[in-house]
Amino acid sequence: MVVITTKKPVEEVLNVLKDNNAKKLFLVSCGVCSALCQTGGEKGLEEWKEILEKEGYEIVNGMVVDDVCDNREMAKVVRKNDADVQEADSIVTLSCGLGVQSIIQVLSKKYPEKRVFVTNNTEFMGMTERIGRFYMRCRGCGDCLLNETGGICPITTCAKSLMNGPCGGMVNGKCEVGNYEKDCGWVLIYNRLKEIGRLDLFSKLRDPVDWSESGHQREVVWR
């Protein structure tokens, strides 16, 4: 699984930095998901260093970090580079939104005044077909239905996240949403259930999605 990110327009990031009066920057570039999406990694780091230096920013330090979203990794980075973190007025992260919040949490005790900015937009958690082709196949609903739907997710594959078969907008196996360019998720589910000899599951009545389960402030905490 990869957290899929895309690059924010450079101007947008530069405007935010200017608006926050940032001058000395510590760059953190995600070496895992964002590296794969070409929005981080070594290449992204070099690109952003060049852009920012040209704009007159001082780069106090810049590094690729695996798992920016893992507080333990970021805590190690901050410990090892304490003087540079102290000198920088802001951290710029080439990562997903998890990375930003991970850094803020790690810095919160010793450096609560440091600002953290992000160069990427976070799109979705994605399945990778190959570099440059990523697909949303799960929205982390918290109540996985794949065992009943032939392993195809109705929440992400059906444009309306319907739970009980295709709507009236399906024409020749295609979905009305997006002008009939994409396959109807429920037709895919039907075909797959047929393929594995479980069409009996197709007519099973399912309750509407309980979105309260996938709402805000979710957490998994082992007790």
Site residues, ligand SF4 (CB under 6 A): 138-141, 144-146, 153, 155-156, 158-160, 162, 166-167, 169-170, 175-177, 184-186
Select from 131, 179, 173, 134 the least CA-distant residue to 156. 134
Residues 6 or more apart whose Cβ sits within 8 Å of residue 179 = none
Instruction: Calculate ∠ Cα 18-3-68, nearest 5°.
Output: 60
CA distance 82 to 26: 11
How many secondary structure helices (H) and strands (E) does the chain include? 8, 7
CB of 79 to ligand SF4, least distance (A): 36
CA distance 23 to 178: 44
CB of 34 to ligand SF4, least distance (A): 22
Query: 115 or 139, CB closer to ligand SF4?
Result: 139
Using the structure block, give the residue that is written with the tokens 């402030």: 217
CB of 155 to ligand SF4, least distance (A): 4
CB of 158 to ligand SF4, least distance (A): 3
Contact criterion met (CB below 8 Å) for 172 and 154: no
CB of 35 to ligand SF4, least distance (A): 24
CA distances from 163 to 185, 189, 195 (A): 10, 11, 20
Residue 44 corresponds to which amino acid? G
CB of 148 to ligand SF4, least distance (A): 9
CB of 202 to ligand SF4, least distance (A): 13
Query: 97 or 166, CB closer to ligand SF4?
Result: 166
Residue 38 corresponds to which amino acid? Q
Query: 3 or 170, CB closer to ligand SF4?
Result: 170
End-to-end CA distance of the chain: 25
Contact criterion met (CB below 8 Å) for 106 and 99: no
Query: 52 or 170, CB closer to ligand SF4?
Result: 170
